[in-house]
Amino acid sequence: MGRQMVFPISLWHILLIFCINPPLPASAQLRRNFYATVCPNVETIVRAVVTQKFQQTFVTVPATLRLFFHDCLVQGCDASVMVASTGNNKAEKDHPENLSLAGDGFDTVIKAKAAVDAVPGCRNKVSCADILAIAARDVVALAGGPSFPVELGRRDGLSSTAASVNGKLPQPTFNLNKLRVLFASHGLDQTDMIALSGNDTKLPL
């Protein structure tokens, strides 16, 4: 490919926060070897799918990172942003603020989940939340950034509603103080806020 995306150092810090010490449901406990006995090759499987998708389109990088960020800010890193709406429920992904999420991010996770479930021992054992976290780490490395260990054990969210997105994502109308408060609630400082919001990241919120 030969093409690399240049991110500020603070963006690696943000990804480390969400991948290693993310907002989680209270019942989730993360560890490196979470799938060691049921799906020991899960990271290798996901990496192969992400690499193939990256080779098809570089949009995979910002699309996957933005999907991960929007997921984590709403109800914790539980992949609830992946859930489709039904006749009687409008899900997170169909909230107006998530309609701009690129389809390549969703496609990356869906294909990786299918590849994992194609392995008999892994079928229905690995959460989409963990697959999204692994994929986010892998696109960082493919874009020329560092690779880092991702602790696993996230549980997929059982609830996904458009209403839950309200007030959880940065708004164009937010002043500096509101942005600081929002990002601080997730352990992010002003430098992190600028990295995620600025044009230099090529990763608009």
Catalytic residues: 70
* Rounded-to-integer distance, Cα 30 and Cα 117, Å: 21
Neighbouring residues of 184: CB distance < 8 A, sequence distance ≥ 6 = none
- Nearest in space to 1 (alpha carbons), one of 141, 131, 201: 141
The answer to whether the beta carbons of residues 112 and 135 sit under 8 Å apart is yes
Which tokens in the block code for residue 125?
């054992």
